[in-house]
Copies of this chain bind each other. A is one copy, B any other.
Amino acid sequence: TSTAEETEPTSPAHTSSFFSPLDTFQRRHIGPSSDEVVKMLAELNYPSLDAFVKDVLPPSILSPRNLKVAPEDGLTESQLLDRLKTIAKQNRSDLRSFIGCGYAGTITPNVILRNILESPEWYTSYTPYQPEISQGRLESLLNFQTVVTDLTGMTIANASVLDEATAASEAMTMSLSTLPVARQKRPGRTFFVDKKLHPQTIASIYSRAEGFGINILIGDALDIPSIEKLGDDLIGVMVQYPATDGIVNNYSAVAEAVHNLGAPLSVATDLLALTLLKPPGEWGADIVFGNSQRFGVPFGYGGPHAGFFATSEKHKRKIPGRLIGVSKDRLGGRALRLALQTREQHIRREKATSNICTAQALLANMSAMYAVYHGPRGLKGIAERVLGLTKTLERGVERMGFETVSKDGVIFDTVLVKVPNAKSLLTTAEQNFGTNFRLVDENTVGITLDETVMMKDMVNILSALNTVALSPIEVSERSLVEITQELGINTHQPVSIPEQFKRTTPYLTQPAFNTYHSETEMLRYIHHLQSRDLSLAHSMIPLGSCTMKLNATTEMIPVSWPEFNSLHPFIPLNQARGYTQMLTELEKDLSDITGFAAVSLQPNSGAQGEFTGLRVIREYLKDNGQAKRDVCLIPVSAHGTNPASAAMAGMRVVPIKCDPKTGNLDIKDLERQAEKHKDFLAAIMITYPSTYGVFEPEVKRACEIVHEKGGLVYMDGANMNAQVGLCSPGEIGADVCHLNLHKTFCIPHGGGGPGVGPIGVTAHLAPYLPGHPLVATGGEKGISPVSSAPWGSASILPITWSYIKMMGARGLTHATKITLLNANYMASRLSKHYKVLYTNSNNRCAHEFILDVRGLKETAEIEAIDIAKRLQDYGFHAPTMSWPVPNTLMIEPTESENVQELDRFCDALIAIREEIRDIEEGRQPRVGNLLKNAPHTQKDLLVGEEGWGRSYTREMAAYPLEYLRERKFWPSVTRVDDVLGDSNLFCTCDPVIAEED
């Protein structure tokens, strides 16, 4: 078999043996049936799929090789689950981990597990860029923000960041941005990091500091003179509360000192602890961040979880990441939306200090719902129990004659114990008591307790310690109860907290956190929010560059398996053999697919992959005596994260022009710039096929030009869905490439995350892949970690693994062809009604295409946004709007949509074109028409007096096409006012409005 020739060219794979099972996956993943493919090809005048593909890809790009992904025809759905279960069973999910260090056990309420994490209506939706059809998750994310602001005592919080480590890095760079410009530029600029932050947080800060030329000083923040010594070089200080050694320190004097030096104080913290402790916002913190994992999100061997990030009123417009804000809709009703979109990278580009795009919406929603489910009293009860257990443990340990690090300190959930030989104790604890402790150093173990801890865990923990105790004690239920009695704690009498640390301000008093405490009410709340949101469970989401393909159930099922989700990220590798096997296989397959030598799965998003890839390039250059090379060429068509990532990696961005006619890279300009910067040329970043949706013919030439000048080629793999099996970044000439597993490889978008952005690299770059301070991973000269966990969001990687294994080499390749076919089929239909902006010389687009609607402004006063909003009335999510070209629409259908759905979408756009023609030709007014008033809600059409007074009927508003009478999805608010929302920035639940409106 060869890629170019197939025996049955319109179907993905065929079972060779009579015995082969029939539950094959490819035909379920791929929308069009063989018959439909034949029809579509005929429409486009091609005799075969391969003849078509030859017109789409430049011949120089088409790869001669077949993918190695085995089995070639893929595993069936049941084979896949069998095989993965066998692998998963090698993970020791039977052991209990009290390792802490930023991750704590949690009980995910099953009503949340099943109705959010396992619900396609929640996990398949996209980032809520279209607020009118996203009010459900916007509401939930606003709850998340409220949880964070209330508990931290800050004014504003974002709707999640990737994890605690990136949050720390964001805190550092945001600290920098709060300073006067002159001070920002001081060569001695230094960020002071308390030594008692979690080690992985510290390690990853280095990764970010380097690009910004920031010095990191690790020290003891309580030693205030050591901070003061830095004077104007001080960028900011970071502490952790409670610290990694479990101790809750009073940092108010530190805050004062830092403020006196004109710098901000950043505080890493734990939301559960803050239900009892005085919040950082009350003792001087300027930035507060952390991980919300223990609010109902399983360990997942490191992720995904939602990092959180909050700041004060003063800095609120500097906050990185996405922010949900409260605004109003056209009818004046409360409406939520993404606020301050103008801050996003595609606007600020190379001046950006943050590249965050995909975040952790799904996990933030889970954590928010956890708070909704428990309410303030429930959360406090959990925290009090954890604290009580920890004090009991501490007392038990002391009785055994051990010294604890927290001796005289205030603690919350962690006890550090001095032992003769920590490693050997860990072995005993694991082997004889099924229990993992943290290895702090040779003579210290750490034990962190959480809401899952039961009496039998306490007995196991203390029994393990007893084996090396100077004076062993009786360890039994009875003796533990005695200790609590001695401590004077019981269910009605929690541990008392010293006044100076004690929280006195109430939190989560809003209705959302005090209403849904029965499972019935919780279920209804979740379903109600869900009912407001459009997801892939409703209709296609043709977002160009986002690849909203099927997230198959079989791929999602393993995510809920305890074998994958119950593992702490820092357990010994021999407890995670199942993960090791799965990750190794995945790296191998992704290397094959990208044509690279090695892959790192650590980055948690595409943007993070970019940053990681550029850091790897810089490290490689430095290691090869080329440290001065710092110029990064970036075509003007690039995604905003590219220049932002380059800037963050400490590069100077030089834009490269594109040909306004073809959209292709201006090779002349590239040659010019490469020549001009040849001594400093580090890299070029290119997206392939380009962000304009075209396979550029000269891409290999572009790579050569850069290589000739000593630079490396970074490929943005967001459009990899057009390449898989047909060509590869490695063969085209790239040195690094990131993949968005949440695009090409079926990880669901979750309403704005999770994502995974692995990078593939050539052999010479492999040694520099990122490492981790606590778990062996990455290259031998690996850069500092870019995520908190060694393999980033490990627990969702089975999704991609499963997709690849079920598709097999043939299925993957076939899917790519269908992706191209679907896009060209649509482009062909729509080109009769709209201008398709760019195609190749054969008049073919790649996997996506841009509709140019700019002319309609003049003829009908219609802009892309009006079409986008009117599409909602037709039951569709808009295409990508105004990116990469302002006032255009970029459409990407993916292979998972069948021809009926493509036709429905085309019908909708064509019908809208006719509605525009009515305006152009004066049959409809230029204001108050169907498009300008779009989207229409039920209330818009039904509330108020019967007099209507519009130039169209209600029926025209609601049911412009026949299929809508059968399946109609309704926006829940009318068009949202962006300006109002941004000028009156309000980003938490309103205690009154939230429930009444």
Interface on A for B, CB 8 Å cutoff? 14-15, 17-23, 27-31, 33, 77-79, 107, 109-111, 113-115, 118, 120-121, 378, 381-382, 385, 388-389, 451-452, 454-455, 458, 477, 480-481, 484, 489-491, 515, 517-524, 527-528, 531, 536-539, 550, 552-554, 556-557, 896-898, 900-901, 938-939, 941-946, 948, 953-955, 957-959, 965-968, 997
Chain B residue, CB-CB nearest to A557: B110
- Is B110 touching A519 in the complex (CB atoms < 8 A)? no
Given contacts A22-B451, A521-B900, 12 further A-B contacts (CB under 8 A): A19-B477, A30-B518, A515-B900, A519-B896, A521-B898, A523-B537, A524-B538, A524-B539, A938-B968, A941-B954, A946-B948, A946-B954
Chain B residues with CB under 8 Å of A954's CB are: 941-943, 946
Question: Do A107 and B77 form a contact, CB below 8 Å, given A538-B524, A958-B942?
Answer: yes
- Is B29 touching A527 in the complex (CB atoms < 8 A)? no
Which of the residues B517, B521, B900, B944 comes within 8 Å of A955, measured between beta carbons? B944
Chain B residues with CB under 8 Å of A521's CB are: 31, 898, 900-901
- Is B78 touching A107 in the complex (CB atoms < 8 A)? yes
* A27–B520 CA distance with the chains assembled, in angstroms: 11
* A159–B114 CA distance with the chains assembled, in angstroms: 28
- Is A943 touching B967 in the complex (CB atoms < 8 A)? no
- Is B966 touching A942 in the complex (CB atoms < 8 A)? no
- Is B955 touching A22 in the complex (CB atoms < 8 A)? no
* A413–B961 CA distance with the chains assembled, in angstroms: 48
Chain B residue, CB-CB nearest to A490: B18
* A378–B23 CA distance with the chains assembled, in angstroms: 10
* A948–B556 CA distance with the chains assembled, in angstroms: 49
- Is A454 touching B939 in the complex (CB atoms < 8 A)? no
Question: Do A454 and B489 form a contact, CB below 8 Å, given A114-B118, A896-B520?
Answer: no
Chain B residues with CB under 8 Å of A107's CB are: 23, 77-78
* A552–B942 CA distance with the chains assembled, in angstroms: 36
Chain B residues with CB under 8 Å of A527's CB are: 120-121, 537-538
Smallest beta-carbon distance A603→chain B, Å: 28
Chain B residues with CB under 8 Å of A77's CB are: 107, 109-110
* A117–B941 CA distance with the chains assembled, in angstroms: 36
Chain B residues with CB under 8 Å of A536's CB are: 520, 523
Chain B residues with CB under 8 Å of A22's CB are: 378, 381-382, 385, 451
* A929–B945 CA distance with the chains assembled, in angstroms: 18
* A452–B882 CA distance with the chains assembled, in angstroms: 50
In the A-B complex, list the 4 residue pairs whose CB atoms are closest, starting with the nearest. A110-B553, A28-B519, A527-B537, A19-B455
Chain B residue, CB-CB nearest to A527: B537
- Is B118 touching A118 in the complex (CB atoms < 8 A)? yes
- Is A553 touching B114 in the complex (CB atoms < 8 A)? yes
Chain B residues with CB under 8 Å of A945's CB are: 953
Which of the residues B33, B79, B958, B967 comes within 8 Å of A528, measured between beta carbons? B967
* A491–B16 CA distance with the chains assembled, in angstroms: 8
- Is B968 touching A458 in the complex (CB atoms < 8 A)? no
* A113–B556 CA distance with the chains assembled, in angstroms: 12
- Is B520 touching A897 in the complex (CB atoms < 8 A)? yes
Smallest beta-carbon distance A17→chain B, Å: 7
Q: Give the interface centre of A18, A389, A938 by most chain B CB atoms within 10 Å.
A: A18
* A154–B477 CA distance with the chains assembled, in angstroms: 67
Chain B residues with CB under 8 Å of A556's CB are: 114
Chain B residue, CB-CB nearest to A477: B19
- Is A955 touching B943 in the complex (CB atoms < 8 A)? yes
| 11 A-B residue pairings within 8 Å (CB atoms) | A19-B389, A19-B458, A20-B491, A28-B519, A113-B553, A115-B553, A518-B896, A519-B550, A523-B537, A524-B537, A943-B965
